[in-house]
Amino acid sequence: MPENILAPIDFSDITDAVVAKAAQLAKALGAKVWLIHAAVPEPDFIGYEVGPEWVRDSAAKHLREEHRMLGQYQEKLRAEAVDVTAMLVPGEAVGKILQESVRLEADWIVLGSHGHGALHNLLVGSVCQGVLHKTTCPVVIVPSRP
């Protein structure tokens, strides 16, 4: 059975490098790549009240754009003969990465690091740190700076 590589992406400057590293690892291992993007819902949509129509339209447009970009990465990897499935999943990044890694039986997680400083990580947190502290599979960290 081929191995599974989970590659969460956020469409930041590091995304191309994360996708490239996941593809490189997949080719070396004969593995399948699962590209995921955790789309955090707008706060107005979490509670009982629905925001104004323009807010809903803007959020829907943003989600369609993320879905389109995710599809482009999927097609790029398929053109490189990589077995890949791309998914846009609703929810908070760390929780969704961990949940999907279990559900998909990921053997590897390939994550990008934004290289924020210690103060930012203390105040806001880091997706890499959150995943590293709770996952049970190997994690490949792609640095933001070479």
Tens of pLDDT, residues 59-115: 778 888 999 999 999 999 999 999 999 999 988 899 999 999 999 999 999 998 865
Q: What is the CATH number that goes with domain 4-142?
A: 3.40.50.620
- pTM for the whole structure: 0.83
Query: Distance between CA atoms of 94 and 79, rounded to whole angstroms?
Result: 29
Residue holding tokens 């482009």? 72
Half-sphere exposure of 29 (CA within 13 A, CB side): 17
Cβ–Cβ < 8 Å for 50, 56: yes
**Which pLDDT value is given to residue 119?**
46
Query: Distance between CA atoms of 7 and 117, rounded to whole angstroms?
Result: 23
Least confident of 30-34, 60-64, 140-144: 60-64
